[in-house]
A and B are shown apart, each in its own frame.
Chain A
Amino acid sequence: MKVEARQEGSITVLEPRGAVIGDEVSFVRSAFEALPPKSRLVVSMKDVPYLDSSALEYLVELNETLAAASQRLKLADTQPVTREIFYLTDLLDEFEFYDSVEDAVRSFL
């Protein structure tokens, strides 16, 4: 898998491409760690067909990191079945979900 980062104004959009599982979580971790501190972040889940427990754990960890900067992780374009994972593990309320990257970016305004 690969992770692309792009800017939407002052907002950084991370776009993982492919399933986020096992060791591949490190690609997302590296992409986040390469960002300037306190970046305002949106993760586009459009091209993530599924994720596993380690990916879920990392997203929770990332959310906690962002919480230190009074942010919550914004997930955009999450595929329905992937979103069900958050519901089934009682994590749905821990994150912010948006139908599109545009909506997520707009939520910062």
Chain B
Amino acid sequence: MLHRRRKAVQQEAAKVSTAGAGAVARAADARLDCVARLLDAFNDWMSEWSSESSRWIAFDRFIRTGLHDAVGAEGVRCFRVTVAGSALESLVPARGKLHALIPADQGVFGTVLETGHALVRSTDAESINEAVWCFPILDGAVRRGVVSVARMTATASDHAPLLDMLAGVISLLWNRLCDREQLAVARETDDRTGVLTRANFFRVAETALSDGYTEHEPAVVMAVALEGVRGLDDRGLWEQRDALVSSVGTAIRARLRSDDVVGRFSDDRFVALMRRMDLPLASMIADKLMTAIRAMLADDATHGGGPIARCCITGPAWGDHSLRELISTALTGISRGRKQGEDTVVADLRDASHAPPRATAVVGGDGA
């Protein structure tokens, strides 16, 4: 798409160039050159940053540089709409601080996002919190973000067409980055639950566990199993089964920390690696999670009398257990819980009698 856009820009530039040597044509030429340079720079930038986790921070810098080169923009700030849609957060997180969120429906940003039109002022902003130029980032009807500029050397009245083009190109690039990110997530996650597929879980969790061991951090593994989903299959309730698995996956993701690694281990089993975690704290979190899942199962009449959830947490691991051993212990704990009628089992690895042998895991349970 970018190539087509750049080609169109170049073709238009060629047409304009041949139309005459007047000032209007030269100005249009300059604008199109400016946009073409930005597109070229983006392609170079993508090849450099495509695999970096900090790509949005780098993209923020790319926009600042691009707008500075094109119109002498300073005081450029870029915000994206949060997942909930009600707030804006800076592309560059505050160092060591929590994100400061800005309401997405108030002030200049709110107006720009609501109307879908850029705001351009003829004088410089008096403070960084004001904007001489502010434009929305939209993807069709979807609001993605907003960019504001406090000062620029280009005058708004003389350069309105250039500002429009730059805003359009940055929206295009922004959306391309979003699409690329969504594709990357889709490749690695289970499309029904949004958590990692088993293969990707192992890849990510092995690295995370290894990093944690290097830093002398304790780790805990949690397994959650849905029992009775096959009964839904047998009754022909496939859609309900899928919806249930999806809901539980979403609940697990929402009830764990954002840096916990969560995977769908099999059709009805989920596994999570929780770094920097001790067993009592993991138990508290597991209790809250299981309460949420139980409520979900109870609320949904279509699952009535059907599936139940069971959970086992095991740890703390300080470097002496592999990921596979920890998962094996947690899954064995779930089997143990089923036999004993417990829905939450704690397998404390510090108890020698509960330490997992390499082949089969022995699980203790002080219950929860």
Using CB atoms and an 8 Å cutoff, list the residues of chain A in contact with chain B.
19, 21-22, 46, 49-50, 52-54, 56, 77-81, 83-85, 88-90, 97, 99-100
Contacts and interface: CB of A to CB of B under 8 A. Distances in A.
27 contacts: A19-B276, A21-B218, A22-B278, A50-B217, A50-B276, A52-B277, A52-B280, A53-B280, A56-B281, A77-B96, A77-B97, A79-B96, A80-B98, A80-B99, A80-B258, A81-B258, A85-B281, A88-B257, A88-B284, A88-B285, A88-B288, A89-B281, A89-B284, A99-B94, A99-B98, A99-B100, A100-B97
B280 A85 contact: no
Given A53-B279, A88-B257, 20 more contacts: A21-B218, A21-B278, A49-B276, A50-B276, A52-B278, A52-B281, A53-B284, A78-B98, A79-B96, A80-B258, A81-B258, A83-B98, A84-B257, A85-B257, A85-B281, A88-B256, A89-B285, A89-B288, A99-B98, A100-B97
Given A21-B278, A89-B285, A81 B96 contact: no
Nearest to B216: A19
Chain B interface extent, by class:
20 to 34
A89 B283 CA distance: 10
B239 interface: no
A54 to B, nearest CB: 8
B44 interface: no
Q: For the complex, would chain A's binding face be called helix, strand, loop or mixed by DSSP majority?
A: loop
Given A89-B285, A90-B288, A81 B97 contact: no
A90 B257 CA distance: 13
A53 to B, nearest CB: 4
Contacts of A53: 278-281, 284
B258 A84 contact: yes
A56 B278 CA distance: 11
Contacts of B217: 19, 50
Contacts of A81: 257-259
B315 to A, nearest CB: 11
Contacts of B281: 52-53, 56, 85, 89
